[in-house]
């Protein structure tokens, strides 16, 4: 068996780790950086660029350089969050045949799992160059609040990258694993994970060789990208007010503003005022126009205060589900690059009544935890038992448009649960099982994961047939569902595959194309 790697597939940056000499280590890329930008681009000559190479051409070739597509993976094109991405996106996002958002570059529309697969393939090569041998297996992390569809898309991305994904593990859980590597004794831990695109909060209990997730909550569309967007909006509005020019339709200007906003945000973590100087941002009447202004830390905090407060609402929800008060948490671990912001650290300190633990690198700890878990799987180590949970409730649509929960959120996985349902019409010979995930009592307000038909039900008055619907969630949080007519034993089952994910034919073609390196771009 070859080496197994752990990959943190991030919205802004990705990171890969290996297990060497009895400990996990983060592997630097060829440029010596331990994180790689989660960016993909295509040069004018059709050459594919990943990571830092893609980032370098982002301003000069903004239409053909893609970033933060993790926020779109597993979503539908009409999702509110997907539409928000369109607002300031310099690249073109189009509706795919599966009603999924895709990025058009030239004549090709890339799916989000495909872009993630390209980035994962780059991380795979970083590990292979370091180890000097091929890598075929990996543990990949996802936000704890990812839906089943988003987890499936991530697994598809791993397959496109040429990897067998041994396990999908939640990012806060991976961080807790890395944190707990050097800890002893019983502790209740809160992992506050604010990254580039997503926010997670998980409450875990560590005791006697068991790391158990008590509850998790979060928002898969809340992170550093939103802070950047607030700064960009502030700069665009300020420039329009002074120069009477709207920059929103200028792709190159928007990308320059995005880069400047990210830099200013980082600068304001260590100083009170940051300068934004963008000469020749546009032209008007044949005259060049320049953007030169300052942003104070106070201004930034005013712009993003509601975003930080939104994370604390998820913290309270998670604590309530765990049955704990903030004072009962022994340690708070902060993860994700956005937690470097002083305002975030102060908010966490106030909310928990203690300063967060800073003994882990927020950019690397998730990848380290992923490879730790990978090592536990391949070596079958029993020193630590990991018990994770499903983040969202699962169930089916019932008569009247109601949502019948079979598995409540924060149930420990793996888990199997079944419930008996019946027909709603006389002589009904078939039923449609619509599998949903979410927290609303109304079926239409939850995410549809998939649907199938159970046929061959004996004709009988309504209410008499007994149909057992069974849900199974594995350790990666992947869902499968079966329905069985108890009278005849007739059964149908599916490994849930949402209509917004890749078809098996699409996935096989992408794997073949990327393995052969035959995908070429035009335009």
| 467 — pLDDT class (breaks 50, 70, 90) | very high
In the chain, domain spans = 3-183+361-383+506-522, 224-301, 392-489
Predicted pLDDT of residue 519: 43
Q: How far apart are CA 39 and CA 115, in angstroms?
A: 9
**480-501 residue pLDDT tens:** 899 999 988 888 876 665 554 6
Active-site entry in 137, 156, 171, 364: 171
Q: Is 511 exposed, middle or buried (0-12, 13-18, 19+ CB in 10 A)?
A: middle
Bigger pLDDT: 517 or 303?
Answer: 303
| 521 — pLDDT class (breaks 50, 70, 90) | very low
Has residue 417 got a pLDDT over 70? yes
CATH of 392-489, one of 3.40.47.40, 2.60.34.10, 3.50.50.60, 1.10.8.870: 2.60.34.10
Mean pLDDT of 499-516: 73
Least confident of 171-185, 256-270, 506-520: 506-520
CATH 1.20.950.20: does it fit domain 3-183+361-383+506-522? no
CA dihedral sign, ordered 304, 308, 311, 312: negative
Predicted pLDDT of residue 286: 84
Can 316 be counted among the known catalytic residues?
Answer: no
Has residue 192 got a pLDDT over 80? yes
Angle made by CA atoms 80, 152, 120, in degrees to the nearest 5: 95
Can 485 be counted among the known catalytic residues?
Answer: no
Q: How far apart are CA 476 and CA 414, in angstroms?
A: 8
Predicted pLDDT of residue 86: 67
**338-385 residue pLDDT tens:** 999 999 999 999 999 999 998 889 999 999 999 999 999 888 766 778
Contact 453, 437 (CB under 8 A): no
**448-462 residue pLDDT tens:** 888 888 888 999 999
Percent of the chain with pLDDT over 90: 70
Active-site entry in 193, 228, 364, 388: 193
What does pTM read for this prediction?
0.90
Predicted pLDDT of residue 518: 41
**275-317 residue pLDDT tens:** 999 999 998 888 899 999 999 999 999 999 999 999 999 999 9
Tokens of 383: 């020193």
Mean pLDDT in the chain?
Answer: 90
Contact 214, 203 (CB under 8 A): yes
Can 70 be counted among the known catalytic residues?
Answer: yes
Has residue 70 got a pLDDT over 80? yes
Has residue 517 got a pLDDT over 70? no
CATH domain 224-301 topology? Actin; Chain A, domain 4 (3.90.640)
Can 193 be counted among the known catalytic residues?
Answer: yes
Q: How far apart are CA 241 and CA 243, in angstroms?
A: 6
Q: How far apart are CA 205 and CA 225, in angstroms?
A: 31
């Amino acid at each position: 068996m070859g080496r197994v790697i752990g990959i943190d597939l991030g919205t802004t940056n990705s990171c890969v780790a290996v297990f060497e000499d009895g400990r996990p280590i983060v592997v630097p890329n060829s440029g010596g950086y331990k994180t790689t930008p989660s960016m993909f681009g295509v040069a004018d000559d059709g050459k594919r660029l990943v990571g830092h190479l893609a980032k370098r051409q982002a301003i000069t070739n903004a239409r053909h350089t893609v970033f933060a597509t993790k926020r779109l993976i597993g979503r539908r094109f009409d999702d509110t969050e997907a539409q928000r991405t369109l607002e300031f996106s310099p690249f073109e996002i189009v509706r795919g045949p599966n009603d999924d958002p895709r990025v058009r570059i030239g004549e090709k529309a890339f799916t989000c799992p495909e872009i993630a697969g390209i980035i994962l393939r780059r991380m795979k090569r970083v590990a292979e160059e370091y180890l000097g041998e091929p890598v075929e297996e990996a543990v990949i992390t996802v936000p704890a609040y990812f839906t089943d569809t988003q987890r499936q898309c991530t697994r598809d991305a791993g397959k496109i990258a040429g990897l067998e994904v041994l396990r999908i593990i939640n990012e806060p859980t991976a961080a807790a694993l890395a944190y707990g590597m050097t800890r002893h004794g019983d502790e209740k831990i809160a992992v506050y994970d604010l990254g580039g695109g997503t926010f997670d909060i998980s409450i875990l209990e560590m005791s006697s060789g068991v790391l158990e997730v008590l509850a998790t909550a979060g928002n898969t569309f809340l992170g550093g990208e939103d802070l950047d967007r607030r700064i960009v909006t502030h700069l665009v509005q300020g420039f329009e007010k002074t120069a009477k020019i709207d920059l929103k339709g200028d792709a190159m200007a928007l990308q320059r503003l995005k880069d400047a906003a990210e830099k200013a945000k980082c600068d304001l973590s260590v100083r009170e005022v940051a300068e934004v100087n963008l000469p020749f941002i546009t032209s008007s009447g044949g005259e060049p126009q320049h953007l030169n202004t300052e942003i104070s830390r106070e201004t930034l905090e005013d712009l993003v205060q509601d975003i930080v407060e939104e994370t604390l609402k998820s913290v309270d929800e998670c604590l309530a589900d765990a049955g704990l008060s903030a004072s009962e948490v022994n340690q708070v671990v902060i993860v994700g690059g956005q937690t470097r912001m002083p305002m975030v650290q102060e908010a966490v300190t106030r909310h928990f009544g203690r300063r967060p633990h800073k003994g882990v690198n927020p950019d690397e700890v998730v990848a380290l935890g992923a490879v730790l878990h990978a090592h536990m799987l391949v070596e079958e180590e029993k020193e630590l038992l990991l018990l994770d949970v499903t983040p969202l409730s699962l169930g089916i649509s019932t008569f009247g448009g109601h949502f019948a929960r079979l598995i409540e959120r924060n149930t420990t996985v793996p888990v199997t649960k079944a419930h008996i349902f019946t027909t709603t019409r006389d002589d009904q010979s078939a039923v449609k099982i619509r599998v949903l995930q979410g927290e609303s009592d109304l079926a239409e307000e939850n995410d549809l994961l998939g649907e199938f038909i159970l046929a061959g039900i004996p004709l009988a008055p309504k209410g008499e047939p007994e149909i057992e619907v069974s849900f199974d969630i594995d350790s990666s949080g992947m869902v499968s569902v079966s329905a069985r007519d108890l009278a005849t034993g007739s059964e149908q089952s599916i490994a849930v595959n949402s209509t917004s994910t890749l078809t098996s034919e699409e996935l096989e073609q992408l794997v073949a194309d990327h393995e052969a390196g035959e995908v070429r771009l035009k335009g």
